[in-house]
Structure 1
Amino acid sequence: MKIVIISDTHLPKRAKGLPARLTAELKDADLIIHAGDWQTIDVFHELHTYGKVEGVFGNVDDEEIKKHFPEKRIIELNGFKIGVTHGHGKGKTTEKRAILAFTEDEVDCIIFGHSHIPLKKYQNGLLLFNPGSPTDKRRQKMYSFGILQIGDTIEADHIFFSNKGVTNE
C-alpha cells in the first residue's frame, strides 16, 4: 500500500498548484494524507481527483476545511494505527505537541506538519514523520513530501525536489 504524505501546501498563497514532482507520485497512490494547512478546500478537491484523501486541519485553515477535517485523527491501515495532526499550538516544539496529541492512544506512527521541516525518526518504537512542504520550503534546501509503504511493516521516505513547477495537465 502506497500512501503519499503531504502537509503545509498553503495553496494558492505559496504556489499556483501542486508541483509536478508530487502529482507524479499521486497518480498511483492508494491513499493521500494531508497533515493540515491546506489553505483552501480547493486543495482537497484537486487531491481527490487522484484518489482517496484523509487529513486534518491546520492553524491557517478556514471554517470550511474545519467542517471536513478534524484536528487529529487515527487511520487504521493493514493493522497499523497512524495518528495524524498538524502540530500547531503554544509551548513545546511541534514534534512534542504532535506526540502529546496521541499520549492516550496506541499508534504506530505519528504524521504531523506545521514546521515545514522534514523529519523521520523513531522514538521508543514509534515512527515520527513530518513530510515538510511541497510548496513552501522556508529555510529548507529542498521542497518535500513523503511516501509511506505499508505491508508487514511501515516504511517511510522523503521525496526531495528543487523545482516546484506545476504540472501542465
Structure 2
Amino acid sequence: MAAAEPLPAAQGPVLLSLTGNVATTNAGERADFDMAMLQQLPQHELTTETPWTEGAHRYSGVLLRDLLARVGASGERIRALALNQYHVDIDWATAAGLPVLLATHQDGEAMKIRDKGPVWILLPLSDMPALNTKQHHEMMIWQLRTLDIR
C-alpha cells in the first residue's frame, strides 16, 4: 500500500494510533489502526527469546518501517507510548534499519493486554545477539498505544 492511498476508518477497537508527522490520517490528525487494518499490512514473523518470557516464542505482526511508510510518516525520532504512559524515543535510523516488529500475535494467538499486548515492540534478540542490550530492551515496549512521529 502506498502512503497516498486513503486510510479507512477503524471499524474495530483502535489498537494503535500514529500522531505527529503523519501524511495519511483517518481520525483528524491521527492515523488509527484496528487489528484488521494492522493485519492488512505485510506480516512478518520472528522467533525469539526475551528477558520477560520463558523460552523462545513465535511472534507475528507488522514491521515498524512498513507501518511508517503506509502513513507517509517522516521525522527524526518516534516516541513510543504504552498504555501505562511509559515511553521511549526510537531513533528514525533504528526504525528504518532494524527489523522492529510490532507484534500482535504470540504463538498464533492475539496478544491480550495482560500478556503484553495488544501490540508489543520486539527485536530479534535470538537472531541478532548484538541487540540483546539494556538500550534495546528499553525500546521493547509492551502494551504499545501510540507512536508519535517527531
- Taking structure 2 as the reference length, the TM-score comes to 0.29
- Taking structure 1 as the reference length, the TM-score comes to 0.27
